[in-house]
Structure 1
Amino acid sequence: MFWINLILAVPVVAFSGMFAMVLGYTLPDLPWVPWVAPVIGTVMYFWGGWPFLTGAVSELRSRKPGMMLLIGLAITVAFFASWGASLGLLHHELEFWWELALLIVIMLLGHWIEMRSLAQTTSALDSLAALLPDEAERVTSAGVETVSPSDLRVGDVVVVRPGGSVPADGRIVDGGADMDESMVTGESRPVTRAVGDQVTAGTVATDSGLRVQVTATGDDTTLAGIRRLVADAQSSTSRAQRLADRAAGWLFWFALGAAAVTAVVWSAIGMPDEAVIRTITVLVIACPHALGLAIPLVVSIATERAARGGVLVKDRLALESMRTIGAVLFDKTGTLTKGEPTVVDIAAVADLDAHQILALAASAEADSEHPLARAIVRAAQERGLSIAPATGFQSSPAVGVTATVSGAVIRVGGPRLLEEVGGADVVESGAWREQGSIVLHVVRDGQVIGGLALADEIRPESREAVDALHRLGVEVVMITGDAEPVARSVAAALGIDRVFAGVRPEDKAAKVAALQAEGLKVAMVGDGVNDAPALARADVGIAIGAGTDVAIGSAGVILASSDPRSVLSVIELSRASYRKMTQNLWWAAGYNLISVPLAAGVLAPIGFVLPMSVGAILMSLSTVVVALNAQLLRRLDLTPEASVRAVLDR
C-alpha cells in the first residue's frame, strides 16, 4: 500500500496549485490539469487513509480518543478543505492536496517502517528454522535411513555429520564436536560438546560427527520456544507505549481546543477568512503520527536486537524496569557456577605427583557413571593424561569404587573409605572442606597416596559480570541452598556483596521480598527450574537457559546462553531503548506543542504566522527524525563480551 500511494502522491504534489506556488513554477494551462490533484487525492484519501479512518471510528465508538482519531481528523479536514478550495468555495490557500498526499504517504511510511522492523525480527527467527536440515539420518536396526526432521520422535538416534546441523534437540550418545551455537546463544565461538551433553536443533557440528538421541521435536524444541517468546514480546504492551497512547488522547483535546480558540479569536478581530485558514491549519498539522511511531518502533527494534544477541524479551515491562534495578540476585548453582563438579585441587603423598594421582583415580573411576567419577575422568582427559585399563571394578554406595590398575588395587572414596582402610587424613582435607569442596581419597594397596578436591566450578565469566554490575552501582547478591562455607567461598572469589546460604527453593521468594522491603528493585537470575517463585516475585525475573516451561512461565527475560554477563546486555538494552523512547516522545509531542500555537497565530501580533506549507514540512520531518533515531538502536552490540566491555571501559 505504501509504495502504490507513494507513486500516486507524485502527480498529486506535482499538480497541486499551492505546491507550485510555494516552489515558484507554473502548471500547464490545460483543462484537465486542475483536476489531477483532486481526483488522485480523493483515491489516496479513501484508500491510503482507510486504516486511519477506520481506526478513528473505532476510537470514537469506544469513547477513547487517541492517535487514530487525531490522524483521521487531520486528513479528513485536509480532504474537505482542499475540495472546497478546488471548487472555489474556500480560499485558495486551503488547497491542501499536496499536504494531504504527503500526510498519508508519511504516515504509511512510518507504519511500513514499523512493519518492516517487525518483519525483520520474524525473518531473523524464521532464519533459525531455515538452519534446520531438510533431512535427518535416523539410526535403525537395519542401518541408517533418511527421513524428514518432522518424522523424528523422542528416543530416536540420529547421525550428525561434520558440518551438518542437528535436526532436533537431543543428547550426544556418541562422539564429540565443537558446536556452532551462535544462532541460539549469540556466542560467536564454537562450544565443545561431548557424550552426555545436550545439543539444540539447528546448531552445527563444525569439525566431527556425532550421534544424538532426540529429546524434543517440533513445538517442544528450543527454537520453537524462542519464536514463541519473541512473538509474545512483540504483542505485549509496554508502559511507555500506553503513555504514548494517552499522550495522543491529550493532543486530540489540545488540538480541538486550540482550533476552537483560533476560530473564535480570529473571528472576533474581524478576520473570518483567516479564522477558517488558521483553524484548518491547526487541525491538519496537529497529526501525531510521529508520536505513534515513537514507542512501537523502538520496542520492535530492541526486541529484534535482543533476540540476535541471545536475550529473549518475553515481557516488555520487564525490559523497561531493568534500567532501574538496584540489586541483582543470582542463584549460585548453574548460574554463577557451572552446576557440575570439577577437580579443583590435587594432593599427593609418598613418591607420586599430582598427575599420577589423578591418572590412577581416573583409571579406577572410568567405568563409573557417577557425576564425581565423570568429573575425575574429564579432568584427566583435559590434562592429556593416560587412563590405564582397569579390571575388577566394584562400586560401594557411600564408600567409593575399587578397581585393579596396572596390578595395584586402587580405591577412590570419601571419609567412609578412609575409616574402612584405617588410614590417616594425610592430605589435610580440612582446609578443602572449609572451602566447600568435596574430598575424595585415593588409596593404593591399602595405603592413602593422595586426595582430590572437587567443587562446583565458578564460571570464568561470573567475575566480569559482578565487576560490571558494581561499576553500574548495582548490588550483587547470591542465593543458594548450599552450606555457608561453600557459599562464602564462591562469594569471596567473585566479590559478591551479600550471601543467602542454606535457602530452600520454596524460601527463595521470601528473600526476594526481603530485599524489596529495603527499597531495592530486584532482578532475580536463576535457571528457571527451582527458582520459579523467586523469578515471579522479583521486579524482573531473568531465567538462564531458554526452552524450559518453568523459565517461560515465570521470567520476563530469558537468556539463551548460560553466560551471566548477559544480564549486562539486558541492562544496556533497557537503558538504550529507554533513552530512545524518551527522545522520540519529546520530539514527537514537542513538535505538536510548539507548532499548533504557531499555526493558530499566537505570534501574529509580531507579524509571524506559521504557513501551512512549513507546518506540513516540519510534520513530515518529525516523523523521519523519530524513525531514524529509533534505527540507531541497531548499532547496539548486545553480545555478553561487548556489554561488559562497554560498562567496564566507562
Structure 2
Amino acid sequence: MEHEGRGLDKHSGHTPNVFRDRFFISLILTLPVLLYSPLVSRVFGFEAPLFPGSFLVSPILSATIFFYGGFVFLKGAYGELKSRLPGMMTLIALAISVAFLYSLATLVFPLGEPLFWEMSSLITIMLLGHWIEMRAVSSASGALRELSKLLPDMAEKFVSRDRTETVAVADLAKGDIVLVKPGGQIPSDGIVIEGETDVNESMVTGESLPVSKSAGDQVIAGTVNGTGAIRVRLDKVGEDTALAGIMRLVAQAQASRSKIQDLADRAAYYLTLIAVGVGTLTMFVWLFLLDRDIAYSLQRTVAVLVITCPHALGLAIPLVTSISTTLSAKNGLLVREKLALELARNVDVALFDKTGTLTSGELGVTDLVGTRSFDEDKVLQWAASLEQSSEHAVAAGIVRAARDKKVNFLKVKNVKAIPGKGIRGTIQSKEVYVGGPALLSELKKRVPEAVSVNVSAMSEQGKTAVYLIVSGSVVGALGVADTVRPESRQAVEALHKLGIRVAMVTGDAEPVARWVSKDLGIDEYFAGVLPEDKEKMVKKLQGDGSRVAVIGDGINDAPALASADVGIAIGAGTDVAIESAGIVLIKNDPRDVVKIIKLARANYRKMIENLIWATGYNVLAIPAAAGVFLPFGIILSPALAALLM
C-alpha cells in the first residue's frame, strides 16, 4: 500500500499468507508464555507446572516470537527509518524491541518484572491485525493476464492459396494471411481480404451491435467472428495491436494511481514521535532531575513506549474494513480495494458506461410497426418464427422478445441465411424475408409511408430497423436496440439526491447516446468514444477537481476503471473489467452504486471513531505511564501499560 506523499509500502514483499503463518505460530508459542507469566499467575491464581529449567520457558519462547513473529515489523521499521518516514512499523518495532531488551535485562539486573508475555501478545495481535488488513485491502494484479486471455493461443495461417496450418499466435508476422472460422477469435489486427461476416467487437470498442465486415474492413485482435468465414491479412502484430495498447493503458493507470495517507499510519507517525520524545524526556527527568535510580527510570520509559503502541490502533482500520467488506458482500457488493471504498465517500461524478451497465448488453425489441394486413403481434410472430433459425445477435433479440410475450412460433421451411443482410424462408406457403436496409436494397423493395415514418423515428434514436417482407411486400418493421435496465432510472435518481453528477460514456453513435441519456435523465453524455478516449474522459472530468467513479463492465472500460478515483465493475462484466476495478457489483444492479457510496461514508465515519478511541486514551495514559500523576497515587507499571495497549 503506497501513501500519498510518502511512497513507502509497509507491506512490500509480504503476502497475507506470511502474516497468517506467523500469527498462528506466534499464537501457539504465546500460550505457554502466558501460562508461566508471574502477573497472569497472580491475577488468575493459576500456577503452571514447574520443572527443572521452567523459568526459561518464557525467555526462550519469547525470543523465538520476537525474532520470528516480530521480524516483519523489524524489517518494516528498517525500511521506514531508512526512508526517514517512521510509521506504524517503526512504532511496533520500537515497542517490542524495548520490551524484549528490558525483559532480558531483568534476568540479569534487578529492574523489576519482565514483559515477556506483554511483548509476545503484542506481536501476536499485531500479526493478526496486519493479516486481516492485507486480506481486506490486497488487490489482484490480474487485469493484464485477463486481457491476454482474449487472444487465441493458435491461429490458422495460410501457407498456400488453399492450405492452412495451425501456428502459435506469437509466431505470426505482419503480412501473414489467416483464416478465421465462424465463432473464432481474431488473432491479430488486420484487414479482411475475402469473405463476409459480422464481428462482435463489444469487448474492445463497446459497440453493442455486431459490426458487418467484408473485404477492405479492419478487424481487431481479440474480437469474435460471427457466422461467416473470413481471410484476414495481418497489419499489426504483438505490441502494435489495439488490444496491446489497451493493456498498456491498464498497466500505466494502475501504476500511476495516487494513494492517500492511511489513517492508522498517520496516527502511528505522530505516536512514534510522541513515544520517542516523551520516553526520552521521562528517562531524563526521573534519572537526572528527580534523582531516581536507573531501574525505576527505565521502568517509566518502557511503560511510555509500550503504552504508546495500542493494540487497538493496529486493528482500528483493518477490522472496520474487514467487517464492512464482509457485510457488503452479503448485499451483493464486493470490495476488492480498501482504498476504493475509502475514496467512494467523496465521489462527485458517476461516469457510467452504457452497454451492459445502464443497459442489459443484450439486444431487444423496443418498437413494433404493423400495417393493415399485419398487426404488431403478427409482425413479431412471423419475424421471430423465421429468425429462430439464425444465430445473429439481432435475431436472438427478436426471438427473446417473442418468447417473453409467449408468442406461438409458426412452422418455417426452406430457411436460408443471406450473409450480412438477413434471412429468408417459407411460412404458410408464403416467401418471407427478415432483414435490414441492405436486404431492402438488394430486393429493391419500397417501404410503405406508415412504416417509413416510424422507422425514421427509430433511426433518430439509434435503433436498428429490421423489416418483415411477405410475398414481396414490406408488411412491418421492428426496432431493435440494447435495452435499458429498469434499475438504471432509480440509480440515476438516487445519485442525484446524493448530490452526485451522472454522466454516460459509450462507443455507440450519437443518436443512441442521446436516446438513452434522455430516457434516464442523465446530466451529460459522451458518444462515439474509443477505449483510449474513455480514459481521457476520466482525466478530463478529474481536471476540474472532481472525484470520478467509473462504472463499467467491458474490456474497453478497463483503462478508465483503473485510472478513475473509484472503479466499479458490473458483476456480469468481463474478468478484465472486474480485475481493473476496486469494487464489483455482484448482482449486476446499478442501484448498488448508491449503496457503495452510503457504505463508504458509514465506513469512514466508523474508522474515525475507532481511531479516536484507539489513540485518545493516550492523552491520560502516557502522562500516567511517565509518572506525572504519582503525587495522586496513580502510576502505570510496564505490565499494566501493556494490558492497556
Contact 2:358-2:590 within 8 A present in 1 as well: yes
The structure-2 alpha-carbon separation of the partners of 1:282 and 1:467, relative to structure 1 and needing over 3 Å to count, comes to: same
Alignment counterpart, residue 450 of structure 2, candidates 426, 435, 450? 426
How do 1:542-553 and structure 2 match up within 5 A? 542-544=568-570, 548=574, 550-551=576-577
Q: TM-score, normalised by structure 2?
A: 0.66
Match of 1:43 in 2: 60
The structure-2 alpha-carbon separation of the partners of 1:423 and 1:41, relative to structure 1 and needing over 3 Å to count, comes to: closer
Inter-partner Cα distance in structure 1 for 2:479 and 2:618: 69
Letter in 1 for 2:445: V
Match of 1:484 in 2: 510
The structure-2 alpha-carbon separation of the partners of 1:237 and 1:590, relative to structure 1 and needing over 3 Å to count, comes to: farther
Paired residues, number: 498
Report the Cα offset of residue 324 of structure 1: 1.5
Match of 2:206 in 1: none
Report the Cα offset of residue 590 of structure 1: 2.9
The structure-2 alpha-carbon separation of the partners of 1:489 and 1:83, relative to structure 1 and needing over 3 Å to count, comes to: closer
Is 1:89 the equivalent of 2:115? Answer: no
Letter in 2 for 1:51: Y
Letter in 2 for 1:412: V
The structure-2 alpha-carbon separation of the partners of 1:33 and 1:80, relative to structure 1 and needing over 3 Å to count, comes to: farther
Is 1:284 the equivalent of 2:306? Answer: yes
Alignment counterpart, residue 58 of structure 1, candidates 36, 52, 75? 75
Is 1:511 the equivalent of 2:537? Answer: yes
Deviations 1:232-291 (A, max 9, x none): xxxx99956755345434433322221221122234134446534422322332334433
Alignment counterpart, residue 371 of structure 2, candidates 338, 349, 364? 349
Contact 2:137-2:338 within 8 A present in 1 as well: no
Is 1:367 the equivalent of 2:384? Answer: no
Is 1:331 the equivalent of 2:340? Answer: no
Contact 1:118-1:300 within 8 A present in 2 as well: no
The structure-2 alpha-carbon separation of the partners of 1:87 and 1:511, relative to structure 1 and needing over 3 Å to count, comes to: closer
Query: Residue 333 of structure 1 aligns to a residue in which SS?
Result: helix
Letter in 2 for 1:385: V
Is 1:377 the equivalent of 2:399? Answer: yes
Inter-partner Cα distance in structure 2 for 1:387 and 1:280: 85
Inter-partner Cα distance in structure 2 for 1:535 and 1:509: 8
Is 1:322 the equivalent of 2:348? Answer: no
Is 1:587 the equivalent of 2:603? Answer: no
Report the Cα offset of residue 406 of structure 1: 0.7
Report the Cα offset of residue 466 of structure 1: 1.8
- Unmatched tracts of structure 2, length 5 or more: 1-24, 139-182, 184-255
Inter-partner Cα distance in structure 2 for 1:117 and 1:309: 21
Match of 1:252 in 2: 272
Report the Cα offset of residue 481 of structure 1: 3.1
Is 1:101 the equivalent of 2:117? Answer: yes
Report the Cα offset of residue 585 of structure 1: 3.0
Match of 2:461 in 1: 435
Inter-partner Cα distance in structure 2 for 1:482 and 1:446: 33
Q: Aligned Cα RMSD in Å?
A: 4.1
Query: Residue 477 of structure 1 aligns to a residue in which SS?
Result: strand
Is 1:4 the equivalent of 2:28? Answer: yes
Contact 1:45-1:75 within 8 A present in 2 as well: no
Is 1:269 the equivalent of 2:290? Answer: yes
Q: Percent identity?
A: 43
Contact 2:357-2:590 within 8 A present in 1 as well: yes
Inter-partner Cα distance in structure 1 for 2:532 and 2:77: 49
Inter-partner Cα distance in structure 2 for 1:256 and 1:525: 46
Deviations 1:207-254 (A, max 9, x none): xxxxxxxxxxxxxxxxxxxxxxxxxxxxx9995675534543443332
Query: Residue 406 of structure 2 aligns to a residue in which SS?
Result: coil
Inter-partner Cα distance in structure 2 for 1:120 and 1:263: 40
Report the Cα offset of residue 320 of structure 1: 2.8
Report the Cα offset of residue 418 of structure 1: 6.0
Inter-partner Cα distance in structure 2 for 1:313 and 1:618: 33
Contact 2:388-2:395 within 8 A present in 1 as well: yes
Report the Cα offset of residue 334 of structure 1: 2.0
- More relative contact order, 1 or 2 (CA 8 Å, 6+ apart): 2
Contact 2:501-2:523 within 8 A present in 1 as well: yes
Query: Residue 467 of structure 2 aligns to a residue in which SS?
Result: strand
The structure-2 alpha-carbon separation of the partners of 1:416 and 1:524, relative to structure 1 and needing over 3 Å to count, comes to: same
Match of 1:636 in 2: none
Inter-partner Cα distance in structure 2 for 1:46 and 1:254: 27
- Unmatched tracts of structure 1, length 5 or more: 123-170, 172-235, 620-650
The structure-2 alpha-carbon separation of the partners of 1:611 and 1:34, relative to structure 1 and needing over 3 Å to count, comes to: farther
Deviations 1:614-649 (A, max 9, x none): 433321xxxxxxxxxxxxxxxxxxxxxxxxxxxxxx
Letter in 2 for 1:372: V
Match of 2:431 in 1: 409
Is 1:501 the equivalent of 2:521? Answer: no
Letter in 2 for 1:12: Y
Contact 2:356-2:573 within 8 A present in 1 as well: no
Inter-partner Cα distance in structure 1 for 2:480 and 2:608: 51
Contact 1:342-1:379 within 8 A present in 2 as well: yes
Alignment counterpart, residue 471 of structure 1, candidates 497, 512, 526? 497
The structure-2 alpha-carbon separation of the partners of 1:49 and 1:238, relative to structure 1 and needing over 3 Å to count, comes to: farther
Contact 1:291-1:588 within 8 A present in 2 as well: yes
Deviations 1:297-337 (A, max 9, x none): 44455556666666555554334322211111111122211
Report the Cα offset of residue 499 of structure 1: 1.7
Contact 1:437-1:454 within 8 A present in 2 as well: yes
Inter-partner Cα distance in structure 2 for 1:461 and 1:259: 59
Match of 1:456 in 2: 482
Report the Cα offset of residue 488 of structure 1: 2.4
Query: Residue 345 of structure 2 aligns to a residue in which SS?
Result: helix
Report the Cα offset of residue 557 of structure 1: 4.1
Match of 1:525 in 2: 551
Inter-partner Cα distance in structure 1 for 2:125 and 2:562: 39
Deviates more, 1:453-462 or 1:267-276: 267-276
Inter-partner Cα distance in structure 1 for 2:133 and 2:302: 34
Alignment counterpart, residue 340 of structure 1, candidates 359, 362, 367? 362
Deviates more, 1:297-306 or 1:347-356: 297-306
The structure-2 alpha-carbon separation of the partners of 1:108 and 1:553, relative to structure 1 and needing over 3 Å to count, comes to: closer
The structure-2 alpha-carbon separation of the partners of 1:343 and 1:598, relative to structure 1 and needing over 3 Å to count, comes to: same
Contact 2:502-2:523 within 8 A present in 1 as well: yes
Contact 1:475-1:497 within 8 A present in 2 as well: yes
Letter in 1 for 2:567: G
Inter-partner Cα distance in structure 1 for 2:447 and 2:108: 110
Deviations 1:504-523 (A, max 9, x none): 44433332233222321112
How do 1:66-145 and structure 2 match up within 5 A? 66-79=87-100, 81=102, 89-90=110-111, 94-97=112-115, 100-112=116-128, 115=131
Inter-partner Cα distance in structure 2 for 1:248 and 1:352: 76
The structure-2 alpha-carbon separation of the partners of 1:287 and 1:539, relative to structure 1 and needing over 3 Å to count, comes to: closer
Inter-partner Cα distance in structure 2 for 1:118 and 1:242: 13
Report the Cα offset of residue 554 of structure 1: 4.7
The structure-2 alpha-carbon separation of the partners of 1:614 and 1:422, relative to structure 1 and needing over 3 Å to count, comes to: same
Letter in 1 for 2:475: I
